[in-house]
Amino acid sequence: MSPDSIHKGSPAWVSNSKGKRHMAQTKHWEPLQSFLEILTGLFSVEVVVIDAHCICVAGTGPYKLGIGLAAPKDTRLAESIHSGVQTVMLRPREEGTCLHCSQNAQCKDQANYTAPLLLEGRIAGAVQIVTFDQGQRMALLECAERAFMLVRQLVDLLHRTGALPLETRAENAEGRNSLDALVGHSLALATLKEHIIRVAPTTAPVLLFGESGTGKELAAQAIHTNSACAAGPFVPINCGALPEALMESELFGYAAGAFSGANAAGKQGLWEQAAGGTLFLDEIGELPMLLQVKLLRILQDGMVRKVGDAKLTHVPTRIIAATNKDLRHMVRQGSFREDLYFRLNVMPLYLAPLRERKEDIRPLIMHFITRECRAVGSHTVVVDPVLMAKFMEYHWPGNVRELKNFMEYGIAFSKNGRITWEDLAPRFETPYDLLPQEGTPVQTPQHQPRSGITTTMVQAMLVKHGKSVPGKRAAAKELGISLATLYRIMAQKGK
Ligand SMILES: Nc1ncnc2c1ncn2[C@@H]1O[C@H](COP(=O)(O)OP(=O)(O)O)[C@@H](O)[C@H]1O
Ligand SMILES: [Mg+2]
């Protein structure tokens, strides 16, 4: 490409020689420049990269002239920093946001691909891959994603080696904090955050699935605070906690004089309370069939009908649902409607169990210690290495919630600033398949359980619930101890 044709392709902001250049901000990105030149040669496309503040930090062809300059906020490139959305434009200038772009008249793009760059789950910049050659439009479609992945991997590498510090945009601090609330270093969590950023700006329903205590509600909040309806309310409903008889009127409200004993003025439902915001339907698998039908209709047209009301009202609300159940299995069994499942499952996000992302345990422990010690005003504590090793081996049936509870208990009972294995041992659950069968002697641990539960109390509960394994489970639950502790106490009796 001759320098002339290079210049012809450049949008006004790039060829604006009077624009203020922010060269200090581009320094950390320098290694990217020579890499982009190679990429351009390989794929015959031009590439431009901006940082989180929309400063052009690297670019090929005409964009090389733009290094240090700010890309206008209304360009698709800068917009992807705010929306987190990845786009492909085959008719630039003629579609969507391009119509209002200040660069529209000068833009020579024939096709472009734009995507945000994420580091540690936060938007650290954006990349645009462009062709100015009409004959290259389809070729761009084919190579853009691969070219983007290469840029992304290099940026990630630069960040990991410490060459590129993470700088995210200063605005939307609330949204950023909500993602920061999800603590952990695992790849699974980083991927989840990336998916949150991607689904948040859309209006489609999101289905969060994963075991109990994995952070589904935190994820729902993060989606809300990063969405276009962040200024609206976030209304969580636990579908498993509402009595079936009340559920409909709680969800949708009721009209004035709907039934005897009802408030004369009628009642606003939770749905209406979430208008302009997000409705979080937790434990969606518990929703009774009748309400599943109603929910499906609302998802189809956004119209809500109060109990006892003839008219339908449009209530614009983003829906996020969560479940720890296998909804597909429920569909097969006939206890969950298939059409509702497909409606909700537009954007499924999975929260991995803690036992599959043990890299998160240490940062989570640090997080809970810092928070808890600050809350109770105590000195910080450390986790004994033996206990830490047990944490790493444990199967975490209650996931992060269980770890949080362990830490709160551990901090309360710690001695000399240490939480030890002895402090927490009674709280560890034995994996169900490792539990002793009826009549098998249980080894008594060296230390005694500190639950304060006596053998007489256990016996009384076993009379009530029966001595089968489910009976013992129920007994342990009622006594507020783990099943393993219950077995230990029973074993002492035989001594
Ligand atoms: N990644 C995480 N970082 C910090 N706290 C977490 C994380 N995941 C879960 N928690 C905490 O664990 C508890 C359970 O999380 P929650 O979102 O209610 O799980 P779920 O809805 O999947 O049962 C909450 O106190 C939450 O704050
Ligand atoms: Mg929950």
- What's the pLDDT score for residue 40? 92
Walk me through the domains of the chain, giving residue ranges and CATH numbers.
3-160 (3.30.450.40), 187-351 (3.40.50.300), 361-491 (1.10.8.60)
| SS3 of residue 471 by DSSP | helix
Distance (Å) from CA 209 to ligand 2 centroid: 10
pLDDT of residue 85: 67
Q: Tell me, what's the pLDDT at 263?
A: 66
Identify the CA nearest to 82 among candidates 114, 52, 55: 52
List Cα–Cα distances, 278 to 197, 202, 216, 224, in angstroms.
Answer: 16, 12, 14, 6
**What was the pLDDT predicted at 134?**
85
User: Quick one: residue 420, left, alpha or beta (phi over 0 = left, psi -120 to 50 = alpha)?
Assistant: beta
- What does the pLDDT read at residue 262? 62
The reported pLDDT for the residue numbered 444 is 36
Predicted model pTM = 0.59
Candidate from 237, 401, 403, 408 with most ligand 1 atoms within 8 A of CB, to mutate: 401
Q: How far is the CA of 469 from the centre of ligand 1 (A)?
A: 29
Question: Whose atoms come closest to the Cα of 193: which ligand?
Answer: 1
Element of type H or E holding 46: strand 46-51
Helix (H) or strand (E) holding 109: none
Of 183, 190, 120, 186, the C-alpha closest to 156 is 120
DSSP 8-state class, residue 178? H
182: CA distance to ligand 2 center in Å? 14
Task: Indicate which residue's Cα is closest to atom 9 of ligand 1.
Answer: 215
pLDDT at 427: 84
Residue 350 alpha carbon to ligand 1 centre in Å: 14
Give the per-residue pLDDT at 38.
94
Q: Report phi then psi at 149, rounded to 5.
A: -60, -40
* Per-residue pLDDT, 432: 56
Q: Where are the alpha helices (DSSP H) in 50-170?
A: 76-83, 137-160
The predicted pLDDT at position 121 comes to: 61
For tokens 């560890």, the residue is 428
Q: What is the pLDDT of residue 443?
A: 37
Atom of ligand 1 nearest to the CA of 212: 23
- What's the pLDDT score for residue 260? 66
Q: Which ligand is nearest to the CA of 188?
A: 1
Q: For position 450, what pLDDT does the model report? A: 47
Measured CA to CA, the distance from residue 40 to residue 240 in angstroms comes to 55
Q: Which residues have any ligand 1 atom within 6 Å of their CB?
A: 182-184, 210, 212-218, 364, 367, 400-401, 404
Task: Kindly give the parts of the chain with pLDDT less than 50.
Answer: 1-7, 170-173, 436-450, 494-495
- How many angstroms does the Cα of residue 330 sit away from the middle of ligand 1? 25
CA 181 to the chain's CA centroid: 10
